[in-house]
Chain A
Amino acid sequence: MSARASRTGRSLFLLAPLLLFLAGFFVWPLFSMMSQAVSDTAVLRLLPQSAEVLAGWDRKSPPTPEMQTALIADLKAVEDTQALGDMVRRLNSARSGFRTLMSKTTSALSDEADPPADLVSIDKRWERPEFWLAIADALSPLTDRNLLAAVDLGRNADGEIEHLPADQSVNRVILVRTFWISALVTFACIAIGYPYAIIAASLSGWKRDVMLAAVLLPLWTSLLVRTAAWFILLQEQGLINDVLQMLGLTSGPVQLIFNRTGVVIAMTHVLLPFMVLPIYSVLITIPKNLMPAAASLGAHPLRAFLRVLLPLSLRGVAAGSLLVFISAIGYYITPALIGGPGDQMISSIIAFYAIGSANWGMAGALGVVLLAATLVLYSVYARLSADEPGRR
């Protein structure tokens, strides 16, 4: 019994680096992303008195003197400027204008010589219920606001869920578009990568090395350089258009850049290795004599391919597709630089919230939605590949 326990202990000890790695680089980021998306304590933490008073407010009438006094007291008690920053960011994201309003208010409140009578005397905006409503709505520690907003929903004044107005509704469109572009890129990668991998696997020696190196090459240059190179090739006076016109295939330049075509071409190029390598690695494990065997049993090469090679390599295609699709979902530099206005992908929105405005809640919520959608797709894939005959 104790020997077994000590063995378990030892194996746990040996596993520890892996577990720590998984926890640190996988579980923890996911957990923090999800909690960012729903936690909403930035305001509640700093405004405990206002929270009590606001609970009795009818959410319509102008602010009462008690509300103003409570808020003044709360604001005066704040010492941590970073926490104040978080609160202001949270409020400003619900109601534009809070930034300047708050900095005006806090600096007026810190003026010992001439203390303001009430908030309205500092800024007229404090008269308007909308600003107080923003505070009142930010006082519960958990919120579905970010998650709803990530799919273009919001709560109205009565707390019912409804669509956001059209000029604020963009996430769904972009999300669907992101999946669509990723799917197109995945198909393009299959169409090019599968035959490529078959040829590479059927060769040997330096020819195989050259083919694999050629497909790996894009991984050795920076994404930006690759994207810039595609700009040069695809532009109106670019190499591809010149060649097309020289061959007389087109009369004028074809628009290849700043649209979907360009995005798909450039992303396919960048992601091709992730399709070719898994397929290739499955192909080289397929015994070399299966295709000759099929031929000796009377199968025409095409039928032999359909009945033997294709089903056996489907696992590689599925793995490659998953890799390409999921990587594609996360792309934003290439679509941003090569695509047109209609090719913005969800990651650029996430990047804006995270980097541009430090709104981790929204960034996290969009991340959660993306993750959920991806998991759904993955489960579909898992179902399909479980039925697939190539698996043992």
Chain B
Amino acid sequence: MKTIIKTGVLAAAAAVLAAGLAAPALARDLTVVSWGGNYQDGQREIYFKPYAEKTGKPVLDESWDGGIGVLQSKVKAGAPNWDAVQVEAEELALGCSDGLFEKIDWDKMGGKDRFLDSAVNDCGVGAIVWSTAIAYDGDKIAEGPNSWADFWNVEKFPGKRGLRKGPKYTLEFALMADGVSKDEVYDVLSTDEGVERAFKKLDELKPHIVWWESGAQPLQFLASGEVAMTSAYNGRITGINRTEGKNFKVVWPGSIYAVDSWVVLKDAENKDAAQDFIAFASQPENQAKLPEYVAYGLPVKEAAAKVPADLAKDLPTEPANMPEAISLNTDFWIDNSETLTQRFNAWLAQ
């Protein structure tokens, strides 16, 4: 309901603009949009402020919660009020094929070779590599879980489990818990039987699951003892350990990593400045400072090499953390997200 009203308002605003009732807008400052929280606080220190100082022009930063619909309505209404936006891999793929983003000038970025392969896209420049993994409180469970099978094992590890409310990640985790090897997860999930199998496995755990929706929730649950273990974003886990002195552990085997990218909205007023900003944020000396603020992997290879070892050990890109992890299959999810969400909601309501 809310969003419908929002689009209506956007449309109405567009109509007013079209009718020429509004005075020509003043030039808008470069507007950069990211995911908020302490991640964006870090970005502000190492990207936004230094870039504003360098260019002598202010940089506005806003935060959002994702959603291709948000970007689509901004671009379709014309003259979007955001320039550079950090998006998830699915939004990158959808938006790029729908023409919502400007093409990236890779020469400006210093060439594709400087980046990890998965961070290179026609419409986007990788910004971070982040991971969804099992988290548990090392102070409460000495011998922690090592796999999704352990996560499902409520006899060995009594207590509730936190999972994100939605099919993405959840179905992959269920299959891994059911013994599907990490390399076959998406092959199995692409079949009807595989989907069936994942939901069957979820049935087993259903009474023990506490569903979370926003990234701060799982750690809140863990801290309050509401759950014994939960899926969570790795950056958040390391963050709470640093700021609140917790001893939450990240279980890297079976974690799923994905790349978030910078994109430039189609026909944005400051689209050139936005590309310059992205290039600035992709310079190794700038990017290398990020892990001090939040434990996300760096897609610029030179930057990753500069990260000191004590910080690097918490990053999804750290070689020791990689072997048992899998990469999120964006193609699978852009094809199946709607059907599986519907199915997931039906399963949830049962």
Which A residues lie at the B interface, using CB under 8 A?
A: 24-25, 28-30, 32-33, 80-82, 84-86, 88-89, 92-93, 96-100, 102-103, 166-170, 173-174, 177, 228, 231, 235-238, 257-258, 329-330, 336-337, 340-342, 344, 347, 349-360, 363-364, 367, 370
What is the chain A residue whose CB lies nearest that of B216? A228
Contact between chains at B334 and A99 (CB < 8 Å): yes
Q: How far is the CB of B247 from chain A (nearest CB, A)?
A: 19
Comparing B96-104, B128-136, B278-286, the segment that makes contact with chain A is: B96-104
Contact between chains at A86 and B98 (CB < 8 Å): yes
What is the chain A residue whose CB lies nearest that of B13? A24
Say which residue of B15, B209, B210, B213 sits within 8 Å of A336 (CB atoms).
B213
Contact between chains at B72 and A32 (CB < 8 Å): no
Q: How far is it, in angstroms, between the C-alpha of A84 and the C-alpha of B337 when the chains are bound? A: 19
Q: How far is it, in angstroms, between the C-alpha of A349 and the C-alpha of B4 when the chains are bound? A: 12
Given contacts A81-B97, A168-B343, A341-B209, contact A354 B165 (CB under 8 A): no
Q: How far is it, in angstroms, between the C-alpha of A177 and the C-alpha of B350 when the chains are bound? A: 12
Q: How far is the CB of A256 from chain B (nearest CB, A)?
A: 12
Tell yes or no: B117 within 8 A of A by CB.
no
Q: List 30 A-B contacts (CB under 8 A).
A: A28-B11, A28-B15, A29-B5, A32-B8, A82-B98, A82-B100, A84-B99, A92-B338, A97-B336, A99-B97, A99-B334, A100-B334, A100-B335, A166-B346, A167-B347, A169-B346, A170-B349, A231-B220, A236-B224, A330-B1, A337-B213, A344-B345, A350-B3, A351-B2, A354-B4, A355-B66, A356-B337, A357-B68, A357-B341, A358-B68
Q: How far is the CB of A338 from chain B (nearest CB, A)?
A: 10
Given contacts A235-B226, A258-B210, A355-B70, contact A367 B335 (CB under 8 A): no
Contact between chains at A25 and B346 (CB < 8 Å): no
Contact between chains at B5 and A89 (CB < 8 Å): no
Which residues from chain A contact B346 at a C-beta distance below 8 Å?
Answer: 166-170
Q: How far is it, in angstroms, between the C-alpha of A236 and the C-alpha of B220 when the chains are bound? A: 13
Tell yes or no: B339 within 8 A of A by CB.
yes
Q: How far is the CB of B204 from chain A (nearest CB, A)?
A: 15
Q: How far is it, in angstroms, between the C-alpha of A238 and the C-alpha of B73 when the chains are bound? A: 41
Contact between chains at A103 and B97 (CB < 8 Å): yes
Q: How far is it, in angstroms, between the C-alpha of A89 and the C-alpha of B73 when the chains are bound? A: 14
Say which residue of A81, A100, A349 sits within 8 Å of B345 (CB atoms).
A349
What is the chain A residue whose CB lies nearest that of B95? A85
Given contacts A24-B16, A170-B349, contact A92 B11 (CB under 8 A): no
Which residues from chain B contact A84 at a C-beta distance below 8 Å?
Answer: 97-99
Q: Interface centre among A33, A341, A358, by most B CB within 10 Å?
A: A358
Given contacts A33-B8, A341-B165, A344-B345, contact A354 B335 (CB under 8 A): no
Q: How far is it, in angstroms, between the C-alpha of A88 and the C-alpha of B76 when the chains are bound? A: 16
Q: How far is it, in angstroms, between the C-alpha of A86 and the C-alpha of B214 when the chains are bound? A: 29
Contact between chains at B97 and A96 (CB < 8 Å): no
Given contacts A29-B8, A354-B69, contact A344 B1 (CB under 8 A): no
A-B pairs with lowest CB-CB distance, top 5:
A29-B8, A85-B98, A81-B99, A355-B67, A354-B3
Which residues from chain B contact A92 at a C-beta distance below 8 Å?
Answer: 334-335, 338
Contact between chains at A344 and B348 (CB < 8 Å): yes
Given contacts A330-B2, A354-B69, contact A100 B12 (CB under 8 A): no
Q: Interface centre among A330, A340, A355, by most B CB within 10 Å?
A: A355
B 190-206 binary contact with A (CB < 8 Å = 1; else 0): 00000000000000001
Within 316-346 of B, Cβ neighbours of A (below 8 Å) are at: 331, 334-339, 341-343, 345-346
Contact between chains at A350 and B335 (CB < 8 Å): no
Contact between chains at A352 and B341 (CB < 8 Å): yes
Contact between chains at B338 and A347 (CB < 8 Å): no
What is the chain B residue whose CB lies nearest that of A362? B338
Q: Interface centre among B70, B98, B336, by most A CB within 10 Å?
A: B98
Q: How far is the CB of A232 from chain B (nearest CB, A)?
A: 8
Contact between chains at A81 and B337 (CB < 8 Å): no
Q: How far is the CB of B100 from chain A (nearest CB, A)?
A: 7
Q: How far is the CB of B96 from chain A (nearest CB, A)?
A: 9
Q: How far is the CB of B33 from chain A (nearest CB, A)?
A: 15
Contact between chains at A32 and B7 (CB < 8 Å): yes
Tell yes or no: B110 within 8 A of A by CB.
no
Say which residue of A235, A336, A357, A360 sits within 8 Å of B337 (CB atoms).
A357
Q: How far is it, in angstroms, between the C-alpha of A356 and the C-alpha of B3 when the chains are bound? A: 11
Contact between chains at B98 and A359 (CB < 8 Å): no
Which residues from chain A contact B210 at a C-beta distance below 8 Å?
Answer: 258, 340
Which residues from chain A contact B343 at a C-beta distance below 8 Å?
Answer: 167-168
Q: How far is it, in angstroms, between the C-alpha of A270 and the C-alpha of B95 when the chains are bound? A: 36
Given contacts A92-B338, A258-B210, A341-B209, contact A358 B72 (CB under 8 A): yes
Which residues from chain A contact B336 at a C-beta distance below 8 Å?
Answer: 96-97
Which residues from chain B contact A355 at a C-beta distance below 8 Å?
Answer: 3, 66-70
Please name 20 further chain A to chain B contacts, defined as beta carbons within 8 Å, in addition to the given A81-B99, A177-B349, sorted by A numbering: A29-B7, A32-B7, A33-B4, A82-B75, A85-B100, A96-B335, A99-B331, A102-B97, A170-B346, A235-B226, A237-B224, A330-B1, A341-B165, A349-B345, A355-B66, A355-B68, A356-B69, A358-B68, A359-B338, A363-B3
